[in-house]
Structure 1
Amino acid sequence: MSFDKKNGKAEPCLAPYDHRELNNEHEYYHFDEAIGAGLPLWLPAGAVIREELEKLMKELEFLGGYQRVSSPHIAKEELYKQSGHLPYYADSMFPAMELENLSYRMRPMCCPHHHKIFSMRLRSYRELPLRLAEYGQVYRYELSGALSGLMRVRGLCQNDAHIYCRVSQVKDEIKKVFEMYQEAYRVLGISKYKLRLSKWNPDDPSSKFVANPEKWVWAEQVLREILDENGWPYEEAPGEAAFYGPKIDIQISYGNGKEESVSTVQLDFSSAERMDLSFINEEGQQERPLIIHRAPLGSHERFVAFLIEHYRGAFPLWLAPEQVRIVPIGDRHHEYAEKLRLLLHNAFVRVSVDERVESLSKKVAEAWAAKVNRVIVIGDREVEENQISVQERGGKEKIKMNPEEFREQMLLQIKDRKI
């Protein structure tokens, strides 16, 4: 983590461009009135970024001992009454759908569904910690005035997981969660962020928190001890907890200077009882688990918005929607360009050929404006020598090499996720 140990704060990430402005240039997503406000359509360039992030997190979660699950986007209303979402979170949920005398709701979170997976049979303490992960689409009815590009939407995909564990396992599990966060941020080139301990507010007249003062004090102290024991500077924020427990939020500054939560880890002390979750302990007795909710990348929508601004649209090779653009100088070079495209395409490199009748300088300039990572120019010499002339975005030199060597170089750098 990159912190200023003296004052416990991190420098803001410098990203001066608004993701909405960059979207106008590069077409990552689209909103359409016929679909509805806050419900983004992911265009090809944006979908690439989403999928690459998903690949990264699935790898880290596999190494971290998570098991993948998948659950429906809707459920009977009774599920969300039992979980507490309707009592505490109704204002942010879509209204009920009446079907065959039953009421259904679009899910605002995945946790009730995961709780049902946990409770499908009585678990043994030997199965804990049980880590269930899902890329879950959820729906939240944000007010129209709060919607803002990808920052505030009504349909979002969460990098979600729930860890069911014992009290003695909580600290170690949360530490492992933060180690995963640090690795993901390292790969993504993110070094500037702050931690916030989000607590309940016992004086809040809205009653948006589970009423159990003793458990709130205990859970907040557990998170505080984890932060202190690891030397992680943090701020405290009363009233920012989830309704079922306190959390640690990771705050990052966006291009407009506004600070937002992009990742979270939450300690849930109330849902196990509410959802009647139990396991059998060593003494053969039923015991309630604690639940850790965690989302290293939060929602893809908000995290992609941050990355667009962080990189100003110029993504590293492994994240770049268009990794290579081939620019043949004339018509006689198109056949060689197409062979090169197939060589790279069949190796799963994102590559295109610019066959337009335009000047070479214009086509190269437009490739750089589109934030393509590598540009290959094909002329007579390249065809005759079975070579390519490749230039990296931001580089001054054009490097000559054979196509197979370039392909292997690309595959290695993509695999390593170099920044």
Structure 2
Amino acid sequence: MPEDKKYTFENEEYRRTYWHTCAHILAQAVKRLYPETKLAIGPAIDTGFYYDFDSEVSFTPEILAKIEAEMSKICKENLKLERFELPRAEALALMKAEPYKTELINDLPEDAALSFYRQGEFTDLCAGPHLDSTGRVKANAVRLTACTGAYWRGDAKRKMLQRVYGTAYPKKEELDAYLASVEEAKKRDHNKIGRELGYFTTVDVIGQGLPILLPNGARVIQLLSRFVEDEEQRRGYQLTKTPYMAKRELYKISGHWDHYLDGMFVLGDPNDETKECFALRPMTCPFQYQVFLNEMRSYRDLPMRLGETSTLFRNEDSGEMHGLIRVRQFTISEGHLILRPDQLEEEFRGCLELAKFMLETLGLDGDCSYRFSQWDPNNTAKYEGTAEQWNEAQGLMGKILDHLGIDYKIGIDEAAFYGPKLDIQTKNVHGKEDTLITIQIDMLLAEKFGMEYVDADGTKKRPYIIHRTSIGCYERTLALLLEKYAGALPTWLMPEQVRVLPITDRTAAYADDIAARLRELGFRAETDKRSEKIGYKIREAQGSKIPYMLVVGDKEAENGQVSVRHRAEGDLGAMALDDFITTLRTVVDGKLIK
């Protein structure tokens, strides 16, 4: 980092230090105004900062405005931030009025350095780093953006706290630009436009995280799944269809019963071994393995590439639910490759190439990053296998990623319980990061299920397994597409590609004939025959993000033409219907981003 950029927002480390200091300024402001408030934690995040508070005062927008004003005062006071350390006993004495801080201190190792930062009358337990003074923060460029509920330490069994979010920038103009981008993000939020455009809805009596896909949303997911299945078939995948549930015994073999039970929907008493107990599947792998196990396999049968459009069920926390991005029932492009060890790199490359092809086709490739998710050797109870097995699997995967030239970050304690994985990450319009696609190396479950193949020398060997998705969760993908394109999906994915608009009743029959012909050719076309002015019909089609509008009046009917309008390009003029069909065919068959 050049020296002149070291203390600017172009430097991520400085940016996070700046925001971390803002979190302390926020906490100091709250304690000044509401001294009985108890402090929890306050980190920097990707878009700013937050602090969690336990307070009898409800932090309404009016209260947030008061806190924000107090923060500006603290910035102008130019208070020096001083770091110091204390022995455990003195640290506990200092924080005796702060129960959440004392809990954090007691949870730290005995030999941990207990560091604090003091600014004026305010002191907080914190590892830092921080700016050297509150005056470094621009007083008129701080904004508190929201207050939500958050369980202490993310545990739904613990107390619900108030989480105050904020952001800050070195210049007010930069803050204004950021806030404008947030407003634009709200307009693009799939929760808003997805409902407005008729893609999905939710119903209280059905349940949180269980969206209803309306005809538009169902059509897009159908198109995506057909696209994936056809492409996977072209690349040598075999299609499977497996049950939505299984007895607990299957999950005991796979390890899900021991490592994932809290995330599963169980049908029956999981503790009563005298009665059958079932669970809805949270993933497809133990089911697809049965295809391999159906008969004895030879090394010549490998790789076996199995793909399935799988409906899965996961008991996500209620606080994690968000539109179509995080739900409790979802559909995924799941697949498992069973292979010989010497085929691992080539098949991993094939999985990655398929994922990249999907992302590029959808126009999502520029929004993604890569994370090499590894186990935590200090948290072995969470994982299957030995340290030697994990080191071997992660070593192999690291070499493959390096050979493929993947620019990745490492995520410790982010692996699946049975193996490391490459997570292709993306962000929604609000900056929240989620995993879109995963590719995992598994060297453990084949042994658990007794999977073997006969090698060239006649001996039986254990296969390796790659778990992967090619487009990830369809619902999440739909949400990201709605946000990226603000509802104007690429033409090949739009539920309605063409709307024919007769100017008068005299041309309604001609309009119906055009729509019928387009449908016969495989396009999705409708006719708007309402007795409304043509300008109104055009505006409504435009608002519905219809890619092409065909306006037909007496002249067009007489000449066998259509007047073409495009949602982004405007009036394209009159043309023969066959010429329009040729244009539409090029756009749709080529899966062009328009």
The normalised TM-score by structure 1 is: 0.94
Deviation of 1:291 after TM superposition, in Å, equals: 0.5
Q: Structure 1 residue aligned with 2:502, among 308, 322, 328?
A: 328
Residue equivalent to 1:310: 484
Deviation larger for 73-82 or 57-66: 57-66
Q: Does 1:72 align with 2:243?
A: yes
Q: Specify the code of the residue in structure 1 equivalent to 2:222.
A: E
1:91 aligns with 2:266: no
Asked if structure 2 preserves the Cα contact closer than 8 Å seen for 1:129 and 1:164, the reply is: yes
Q: Displacement, 1:106?
A: 0.7
Amino acid at match of 1:202: P
CA contact 2:501–2:528 (8 Å) conserved in 1: yes
* Secondary structure in structure 1 of the residue aligned to 2:494: coil
Q: Deviations over 1:91-130 (max 9, x none)?
A: 1000223799421111111101001111111111100010
Verify: 1:337 aligned to 2:508, yes or no: no
The separation in 1 between residues aligned to 2:456 and 2:394, in whole angstroms, is: 28
Q: How does 1:163-312 map to 2 (within 5 A)?
A: 163-192=337-366, 193-204=368-379, 207-312=381-486
**CA shift at 1:355, angstroms?**
1.4
Query: Which structure 1 residue ranges, 4+ long, deviate > 3 Å from structure 2?
Result: 97-101
Contact 2:507–2:554 (CA<8 Å) still a contact in 1?
Answer: yes
Shift of 1:384: 1.1
Question: How far, CA to CA, are the matches of 2:316 and 2:401 in structure 1?
Answer: 32
Q: Distance in 1 between matches of 2:266 and 2:245?
A: 12
Q: Contact between 2:370 and 2:407, CA under 8 Å: does it hold in 1?
A: yes
Q: CA deviation at 1:230?
A: 1.7
Unmatched 5+ residue regions in structure 1?
A: 1-6
Provide, for residues 179-234 of structure 1, a one-character-per-residue CA deviation record: whole Å limited to 9, x for no partner. Answer: 111211121112321110000011127x2211311111111111111111122110
Instruction: Output the CA distance in 2 between the equivalents of 1:180 and 1:303.
Output: 16
Contact 1:159 1:298 in 2 (8 A): yes
How far is 1:140 from its partner?
Answer: 0.7
**2:323 equivalent to 1:158:** no
CA distance in 2, matches of 1:32, 1:137: 20
The one-character-per-residue Cα deviations of 1:322-374 (angstroms, maximum 9, x if unpaired) are 10111111111111111111111111211111112222111101111110000
Counterpart position of 1:4: none
Amino acid at match of 1:19: H
Report matched runs for 1:100-139 at 5 Å: 101-139=275-313
Paired with 1:406 and 1:59, the residues of 2 have a C-alpha distance of: 27
Inter-partner Cα distance in structure 2 for 1:191 and 1:146: 25
Quote how far apart the aligned CAs of 1:43 are: 0.9
Distance in 1 of aligned mates of 2:459 and 2:553: 76
The amino acid that maps onto 1:277 is M
Q: What is the alpha-carbon distance in structure 2 between the residues aligned to residue 322 and residue 292 of structure 1?
A: 37
Return the offset for 1:30: 1.7
In 2: Cα distance, 1:107 partner to 1:181 partner: 24
Cα deviation digits, residues 145-193 of structure 1 (max 9, x gap): 1111111111111100000011111111001111111211121112321
| Aligned residue in 2 for 1:413 | 587
Larger CA deviation: 117-126 vs 97-106: 97-106
- 1:404: how far off? 2.7
Higher gyration radius (CA): 2
CA–CA separation in structure 1 for the residues paired with 2:453 and 2:572: 63
Task: Give the superposition deviation at 1:381.
Answer: 0.6
| Match of residue 387 from structure 1 | 561
Give the superposed CA RMSD.
Answer: 1.8
- The match for 1:35 is 206
CA distance in 1, matches of 2:485, 2:459: 53
Q: Return the alpha-carbon distance in structure 2 between the equivalents of residues 364 and 397 of structure 1.
A: 11
Counterpart of 2:266 in 1: which secondary structure? Answer: coil
Contact preservation (8 Å) 2:425, 2:437: yes
How far apart in 2 are the matches of 1:32 and 1:218? 47
**Cα drift, residue 408 of structure 1:** 3.4
Counterparts of 1:211 and 1:125, CA distance in 2: 25
Q: Partners in 2 of 1:62 and 1:411 — Cα distance?
A: 23
Contact 2:385 2:444 in 1 (8 A): no
What SS is found at the alignment partner of 2:526? strand
Whichever residue aligns with residue 261 of structure 2, its letter is A
Q: Work out whether residues 198 and 238 of structure 1, in 8 Å CA contact, stay in contact via their aligned partners in 2.
A: yes
SS at match of 1:298: strand
Is 1:82 the counterpart of 2:253 in the alignment?
Answer: yes
Give 1:23 deviation, angstroms: 1.5
Shift of 1:309: 0.7
SS where residue 439 of structure 2 aligns? strand
SS of 1:398's partner is strand
Q: Displacement of 1:281 after TM fit?
A: 0.8
Q: Which residue of 2 aligns with 1:360?
A: 534
Alignment check: 8 A CA contact 2:359 2:471 kept: no
**SS of structure 2 residue aligned to 1:296:** strand
Q: Which moved more, 1:383-392 or 1:92-101?
A: 92-101
SS of 1:102 mapped into structure 2? coil
| 2:198 counterpart of 1:59 | no
Aligned-pair identity (%): 36
Find the aligned partners of 1:271 and 1:20 in 2 and give their Cα distance. 38
2:246 and 2:263 mapped to 1: Cα distance?
16
Task: Report the Cα offset of residue 286 of structure 1.
Answer: 1.2
Higher mean displacement: 162-171 or 31-40 = 31-40
- Could you tell me which runs of 5 or more consecutive residues in structure 2 were left unpaired when the two chains were aligned: 1-10, 12-46, 48-180
Q: Bigger CA drift: 263-272 or 404-413?
A: 404-413
Matched AA of 1:96: L
RCO higher in 1 or 2 (8 Å CA, sep ≥ 6)?
A: 1
Matching residue's letter, 2:377 = P
CA distance in 2, matches of 1:349, 1:323: 7
- On the 8 A contact 1:77/1:96 being kept in 2, the answer is no
- 1:313 counterpart SS class: coil
Partner SS, residue 332 of structure 1:
helix
Q: Deviations over 1:78-97 (max 9, x none)?
A: 00111111111101000223
**How much has 1:262 moved relative to structure 2?**
0.1
For 1:167, give the aligned amino acid. P
Q: Which amino acid aligns with 1:191?
A: D
CA distances 1:242-291 after superposition (whole Å, capped 9, x unpaired) = 00000000011211111211001000111001111111111211111110
CA distance in 2, matches of 1:191, 1:276: 38
